[in-house]
Amino acid sequence: MRTRHTFTITNPDFKAQLLQWSQQFEEVVWLDSNSHQQHYSTYDTVLAVDAFTCISTDCQQAFDQLQEYQTITKDWIFGYFTYDLKNDIEHLKSEHVDGLDFPELFFFQPKKLFLITGDVVEMQYLKMVDDELESDLKDIAAYKLDQEGTPLTPVNIQMRLTKEQYLEKVNTMLAHIHRGDIYEANFCHEFYAEKTEIDPLETYIKLNTISKAPFAAYFKNHQHYVLCASPERYLTKINQKVISQPIKGTATRSTDTLIDENLKNELQNNPKERSENIMIVDLVRNDLAHTAKKGSVTVEELCAVYTFEQVHQMISTITSEVDANIPPVQIVKTTFPMGSMTGAPKISAMQIIENLEATKRGLYSGSIGYFTPAGDFDFNVIIRSILYNAENRYVSYSVGSAITSKSDPLKEFEECLIKAKAMKEVLEN
């Protein structure tokens, strides 16, 4: 079905030219590790463009439809899961305002695929377009890059909740926790702009330059865009091994090396941050157990602190082994939405989140990634991301934090502002 060609990259601008070249297509998924040497990563950069087939649906029986689509195509498929697919899995609902209006699930089978590892690129083209490969490579090499970049028009960002409203809602969340309804919940709020136009590619490039995140993504589906600088992997499957790497625990960075190291050490030893992380590790272990071989769920790394451009983050790694006959979509379904963006117990946390948040999450705290023909997959967590509907002229980003019994509402608000810093900087220019 696909022809394969490989060559060694000698032009240092090849990746940037490739991303520019991709903009002519209506469907684009660009996944970039930004040279982070993440354990369990298969490729450094991936580009998939131009849908041969696709699936686009609301939440009703979405996972069943995707499983059928994935089984029929037996090919690479790229796309996303929105947070609101929770309503397909549990008796839940999403009734808040939604200015973005994305389909709740979208995947496509690309005609053209580029897989970059180190300085080697493998191109997999469907046979129907294989004769375009040579001209495509010439077109990519001919792209002239603007080293300065296009100046962006500042965007006037509004908060969906005022500071006072945010603090009041966190206190309500704390009351649920103190009553024993939940142990932890991820409470999020939206920053947005209406009647606004942005340059999606330039905005992504600037956001990625600031963040250099290991699970960055640029997504385009006609008028829908995701400009993602995510530091977090949701779930990956390599052969029969499944890996989840939830983030819980955040500290700001400092330009002073000594202060920065102290901030990192404080995060490593912070009992509140560690308890947040461990609660989610327990939740993920339970989620993975639904499809795991008995006794195979393992915590490989607990509360390790990793450093990124904007923040330090506490990350744990949980793995399991699955039988070869378990459908890959089923593994995703039994772990979705990811515990780091919900809370514990998961269903109760999602119900309380829905009652307190003011915006439909949509693609925020969902996931972008791919399935391979062999049934492997890799998906990120859509955080630190700008979402854009060009037709509606609506721009949005959301941030959140984990609320536990030890939470101080004001400090949680300040943590949200730290997480919003890169998106705010890019949009407000």
Query: Which of 27, 104, 232, 273 is flagged as catalytic?
Result: 232
CA separation, residue 139 to residues 51, 114, 384 (Å): 20, 15, 32
232 classed as catalytic: yes
φ, ψ of residue 291 to 5 degrees: the values are -120, 0
Question: For residue 216, what are the β-bridge partners?
Answer: 32, 229
Choosing from 237, 248, 360, 419, which is the catalytic residue?
248
CA atoms within 13 A on the CB side of 330: 11
87 conformational bin, left if phi > 0, alpha if psi -120 to 50, beta if neither: alpha
Backbone angles phi, psi at 280, to 5 degrees: -70, -35
273 in catalytic set: no
User: Are 13 and 145 spatial neighbours (Cβ–Cβ below 8 Å)?
Assistant: yes
| Spatial contact of 227 and 207, defined as CB atoms under 8 Å apart | yes
DSSP 3-state assignment of 290? coil
Nearest of 419, 5, 38, 69 to residue 250 by alpha carbon: 419
Ramachandran bin of 333, using left for φ above 0, alpha for ψ from -120 to 50, beta for the remaining angles: alpha
Residues 6 or more apart whose Cβ sits within 8 Å of residue 137? none
Q: Please compute, for residue 183, the number of CA atoms within 13 A of its CA located in the half-sphere on the CB side.
A: 15
Residues tagged active-site: 232, 248
